[in-house]
Structure 1
Amino acid sequence: MQTFRVLIILCVASLVGLAQTVYAQTVAETPPIVDAERYELGSGDKVRVIVYGEDDLSGEFELDGSGIVALPLIGPVNIGGRDLAVAEQLISAKLADGYLVNPRVSIEVLNYRPFYILGEVKKPGSYPYVNSMTVLNAIALASGFTYRANEKKIVITRRVDGVEKKITVEDTTLVLPGDIIRVPERFF
Structure 2
Amino acid sequence: MTLPACPTHRMPRPSLLLWIGLLLLTMPQLLPAQGADYQLGPGDKLRITVFAEPYLSGEYIVSANGSVSMPLIEPVEVGGRTVQEAEDLVEQGLRAGFIGDPDVAIEVLDYRPFFIIGEVKNPGSYPYVADMSVLHAVAIAGGFTARAAKQKIEIQRDGDVLRSVANTTPVLPDDIITVKQRFF
d(CA) in 1 for partners of 2:122 and 2:93? 43
Offset at residue 96 of structure 1 (A) = 1.6
Q: State the partner residue of 1:41.
A: 40
- Cα deviation for residue 147 of structure 1 reads 4.2
> SS at the partner of 1:152?
strand
Q: Which residue, out of 147, 169, 174, partners 2:170? A: 174
1:79 is aligned with what amino acid? Answer: V
SS of match in other structure, 1:172? coil
Per the alignment, residue 71 of structure 2 pairs with 72
Judge conservation of contact 2:39–2:82 (CA < 8 Å) in 1.
Answer: yes
Deviation at 1:87, TM superposition (A): 0.7
RMSD over aligned CA atoms reads 2.5
Larger Rg: 2
Counterparts of 1:54 and 1:146 in 2: how far apart (Å)? 52
| 3-state SS, counterpart of residue 87 of structure 2 | helix
What is the Cα deviation at residue 92 of structure 1? 1.2
Correspondence list, 1:1-188, <5 A: 35-159=34-158, 164-167=159-162, 168-188=164-184
SS of the equivalent of 1:95 reads: helix
The TM-score with structure 2 as length reference comes to 0.72
Q: 3-state SS of the aligned residue for 1:184?
A: strand
Q: Note the C-alpha offset of 1:184.
A: 2.5
Contiguous gaps of at least 5 residues in structure 2: 1-27
Provide, for residues 104-132 of structure 1, a one-character-per-residue CA deviation record: whole Å limited to 9, x for no partner: 21111122222111223232111112234
State the match for 2:15 in structure 1: none
Q: Contact (CA 8 Å) 2:74, 2:93: kept in 1 or not?
A: no
SS in 1 for 2:150: coil
> Aligned letter for 1:142?
A
Mapped contact 2:121–2:141 kept (Cα < 8 A)? yes
Equivalent pairs: percent with the same residue? 52
| TM-score of the aligned structures, taking structure 1 as reference length | 0.70
What is the alpha-carbon distance in structure 1 between the residues aligned to residue 132 and residue 91 of structure 2?
34
Unaligned runs of 5+ in 1: 1-30
Question: How far apart are residue 157 of structure 1 and its match?
Answer: 2.3
